[in-house]
């Protein structure tokens, strides 16, 4: 492991909570695509499969920030364990309903209940922020490492989920995802030494973190970004099936995540200067442009190459987003703020998977790639329109104090920049 990554693990407990976070995040890459694969295997209906995946994503978008807000107030252990129990129980109900062929409305009920899933990525990033607060370079490397973990999950998650559901039995992918969630949450919350200090209710009198104008821009852009991700997942599975190699969809999606993983690894080694908002805008525009080759996909090998190139813009944009969240959200609401970006992605995934499913059913898989293409244009538009908000974080008493301290410390030029 390169020295900047090795250095961040010198703090006690970091390796353990990162490993637990990896295990708990595997469902992020397995659950949605597992439901799509399961339902399409059992019913052959991509529209229904996409709608159920969208229901799960919308529910997570609504409930996720509320779970994180409770975490900021009461701590990770007290909130995450009950939330994960609800999610695992709901997933079990969903699998039973699907296997038994119960009415469709029961599938939607359990999919909605499963949305109580905690945002494990926000929990681990909050732990890094508590350990390296004020150390811009270390925090940048830690966020980059977390993006690598995200992409490793997306490399192996779809392979495992789709592979088990197609080779073993249709419900196998979502079932294993629920097991990973339960194990990861219990392991993470058992580690009390690195758990961020919860904040009493009086610190939340300012209301939701979403009142931040900068965070509003990030969330809106991530809705469009999530639409890209959701649509690409559904359309790629359908495209592979039309090509006669449905199981290959997991490999193609893994290549997509591999591009992001490699880009994130390199990005974490860099110490970049300049405005994070500018780098973020460049990243969003790069994701939009990378959707163009998908419109020309005529074979799985070409699609794999196009998705690998498209993946190169993802991790650097995500890393910069986390830096911007910390700049625009008060410290006492950091977990909630990070969860709102995940909410934006979840809403987008819901829209993308649902829209793509209907387009595939009506016009075929190749036409479905128009959905992520349009979403990329919308993400870039939001980025341009909201750029000024991102350049000027609204100072809170706490945030202003940190900026004032950096201005008074001319011997540490690295800390004059909040987070790269």
pLDDT for 34-62, tens place per residue? 888 888 888 777 778 878 887 887 788 78
C-alpha 114/C-alpha 93 separation (Å) is 9
* CA separation for the pair 127, 379 (Å, rounded): 29
Lowest mean per-residue pLDDT among 72-81, 85-94, 329-338: 329-338
- Pairwise CA distance, residues 295 & 45, whole Å: 23
| Structural domain boundaries in the chain | 3-189+209-402
Enter the tokens of residue 282: 């460049």
pLDDT of residue 396: 45
Q: Give the confidence band of 195 by pLDDT, cuts at 50, 70, 90.
A: confident
Q: Name the more confident of 256 and 155.
A: 256
Higher pLDDT, 227 or 148: 227
Are 71 and 197 in contact by the 8 Å Cβ rule? The answer is no
CB 156 within 8 A of CB 23: no
Cite the DSSP H helix spans in 270-369.
Answer: 276-289, 300-311, 314-328, 334-363, 365-368
Contact 333, 258 (CB under 8 A): no
Q: What is the pLDDT of residues 235-281, one digit of tens each?
A: 888 888 888 887 788 788 888 888 888 888 888 787 777 788 888 89
Is residue 174 helix, strand or coil? helix
Evaluate if residue 130 carries a pLDDT over 50.
Answer: yes
- Say if residue 25's pLDDT is above 90: no
pLDDT of 334 strictly over 50: yes
- Nearest to 235, CA basis, from 342, 338, 310: 310
pLDDT interval class at 400 (50, 70, 90): very low
How many Å apart are CA 192 and CA 207, to the nearest integer? Answer: 27
Counting residues of the chain whose pLDDT is more than 90, the rounded percentage is 21
For residue 388, which of 217, 161, 196, 186 has the smallest C-alpha distance?
217
Asked whether residue 375 carries a pLDDT value surpassing 90, the answer given is yes
- Tens digit of pLDDT for each residue in 282-305? 999 999 999 999 888 878 889 999
Q: Is 244 helix (H, G, I), strand (E, B) or coil?
A: coil
Alpha-carbon span 419 to 135, nearest angstrom: 8
- The half-sphere exposure of 366 on its side-chain side, counting CA atoms within 13 A, is 10
Structure tokens at 352: 């993308």
In the predicted structure, residue 369 carries a pLDDT above the cut 60:
yes
Supply the pLDDT for residue 47: 76
C-alpha dihedral, 153 to 272 to 392 to 407, nearest 10°: 120
Cα→Cα distances 141→3, 24, 98, Å? 10, 21, 42
Distance of alpha carbon 371 from alpha carbon 109, whole angstroms: 27
User: What average pLDDT does the chain have?
Assistant: 81
377 or 366, which is more confident? 377
Question: Is CATH 3.40.50.720 correct for 3-189+209-402?
Answer: no
**Cα(238)–Cα(314) distance, rounded to whole angstroms?**
23
Per-residue pLDDT, 406: 39
pLDDT of 414 strictly over 50:
no
- Binning pLDDT at 50, 70 and 90, where does residue 233 land? confident
Instruction: Give the count of beta carbons closer than 10 Å to the beta carbon of residue 273.
Output: 9
The residues, ordered by sequence, that sit 6+ positions from 211 with a Cβ below 8 Å of its Cβ are none
């Amino acid at each position: 492991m390169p020295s900047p990554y090795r250095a961040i693990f010198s703090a006690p407990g970091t390796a353990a909570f990162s490993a637990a976070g990896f295990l708990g995040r595997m469902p992020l890459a397995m659950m949605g695509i597992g439901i799509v694969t399961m339902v399409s295997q059992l019913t052959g209906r991509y529209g229904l499969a996409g709608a159920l995946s969208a229901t799960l994503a919308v529910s997570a978008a609504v409930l996720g920030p509320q779970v994180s807000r409770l975490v900021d107030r009461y701590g990770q252990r007290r909130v995450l364990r009950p939330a994960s129990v609800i999610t695992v129980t709901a997933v079990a109900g969903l699998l039973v309903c699907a296997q038994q062929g119960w009415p469709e409305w029961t599938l939607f009920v359990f999919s909605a209940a499963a949305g109580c899933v905690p945002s494990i990525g926000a929990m681990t990033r909050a732990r890094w922020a508590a350990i390296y607060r004020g150390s811009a370079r270390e925090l940048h490397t830690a966020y980059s490492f977390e993006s690598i973990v995200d992409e490793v999950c997306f490399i192996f998650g779809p392979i495992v989920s789709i592979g088990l559901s197609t080779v073993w039995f249709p419900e196998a992918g979502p079932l294993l995802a629920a097991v990973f969630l339960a194990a990861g949450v219990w392991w993470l919350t058992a580690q009390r030494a690195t758990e961020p200090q919860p904040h009493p209710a009086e610190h939340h009198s300012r209301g939701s973190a979403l009142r931040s104008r900068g965070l509003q821009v990030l969330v809106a852009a991530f809705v469009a970004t999530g639409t890209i991700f959701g649509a690409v997942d559904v359309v790629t599975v359908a495209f592979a099936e039309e090509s006669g190699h449905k199981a290959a969809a997991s490999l193609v999606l893994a290549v997509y995540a591999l591009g992001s993983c490699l880009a994130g690894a390199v990005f974490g080694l860099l110490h970049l200067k300049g405005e994070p908002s500018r780098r973020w805008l460049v990243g969003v525009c790069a994701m939009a442009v990378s959707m163009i080759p998908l419109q020309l996909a005529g074979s799985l090998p070409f699609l794999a190459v196009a998705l690998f190139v498209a993946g190169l813009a993802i991790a650097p944009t995500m890393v910069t987003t986390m830096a911007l969240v910390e700049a625009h959200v008060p410290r006492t609401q950091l977990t909630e703020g990070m969860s709102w970006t995940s909410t934006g992605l979840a809403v987008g995934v819901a829209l993308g998977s649902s829209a793509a499913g209907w387009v595939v059913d009506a016009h075929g898989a190749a036409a479905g790639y128009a959905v992520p293409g349009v979403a990329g244009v919308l993400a870039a538009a939001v980025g341009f329109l909201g750029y000024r908000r991102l350049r000027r974080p609204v100072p809170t008493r706490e945030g202003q104090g940190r900026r004032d301290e950096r201005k008074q410390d001319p011997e540490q030029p690295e800390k004059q920049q909040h987070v790269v």
